[in-house]
Copies of this chain bind each other. A is one copy, B any other.
Amino acid sequence: MAIDYTNNDVQQFGKGDEAKDRQFVTALARGLELLRCFSPGERYLGVAELSRRTGIPKPSVSRLAGTLVKLGYLNFLPSLGKYSLGSGVLSLGYAMLSNISVRQIARPMMQELAEYSQASVSIGICDRLSMVYIESVRSNAPIGIRRGIGSRLPLALTAIGRAYLAGLPKAEQDSLMHQLSLRDEQNWPRLRTGIEQGLRDCAERGFCLSVGEWERDVSAVGVPFTDGEGRPMAFSCGGAAFLLTRDRLEHDIGPRLASLVRHISGISRI
């Protein structure tokens, strides 16, 4: 598994953070932060490791993790002395997915476009500074990595992320971009250029591109969308770069995806 799935969207909750909010429950935030440490790359984590990652002192980690085990959100493996995610986390995700109705409406059309383009067509929403797939269908072509529902992609480098930003109200857009700039001041100028190109593209043509910018061999187009309940999200169609050339994305796939999204807007607006 060469892909780095690590969740970079860390938030530290030092007890006396600026969140001097009397309405903020630290213990809850910390417990959830522990769960977030587990990612597809990091199956098993021990107390010390969790403590290092989150900055929470060991005894507290031990207590919180113990609680999470009792609740079924973590498993404890006595042989390793480590924790892994438990079955509890699954059903939460499912409850959320089943409440987003666009998925059912869009799936047939997505499937059709996937077959046509021999690529993957996905819908994503934003969590912290990543996009997360809530639906993804792929052509049954032999190649093509399976990035399933729930997988995370960076906001700044992908077509779906840029499209998402393009669909946001200015205020939220700025806020997210500000956070991005803080996280990676080094590369921000470069990232920013790509994002702003995306914003322009979406405004002018209704879709934006990422040609090998995230992973060398992957290209995609993205289109912003807001569902009937006002939830911002984005569609994308992406796959092997040698199949999805820039020309084809700009003149064929891009317009098709944009048209697909217009269709869905029409249907779900009723």
Report A's interface with B, CB cutoff 8 A. Answer: 5, 7, 11, 19, 23-25, 27-32, 35-36, 38-40, 43, 62-64, 66-68, 70-73, 75, 77, 84-99, 125-128, 130, 132, 134, 148-152, 229, 231
Contacts and interface: CB of A to CB of B under 8 A. Distances in A.
A58 to B, nearest CB: 13
Given A72-B128, A90-B134, A23 B95 contact: no
Nearest to A98: B40
16 contacts: A5-B98, A23-B62, A29-B70, A31-B32, A72-B128, A86-B127, A87-B126, A87-B132, A90-B93, A90-B127, A91-B150, A92-B92, A94-B150, A94-B151, A95-B150, A149-B149
Which label, helix, strand, loop or mixed, suits the secondary structure of the A interface? mixed
Given A84-B99, A127-B87, A132-B87, A25 B94 contact: no
A70 B150 contact: no
Nearest to A231: B75
Contacts of A132: 87, 90-91, 94
A94 B91 contact: no
Which of A7, A71, A87 has the most C-beta atoms of chain B within 10 angstroms of its own C-beta? A87
Contacts of A73: 32
Given A28-B32, A36-B92, 9 more contacts: A25-B27, A25-B31, A28-B67, A29-B67, A85-B96, A86-B127, A87-B126, A90-B150, A91-B127
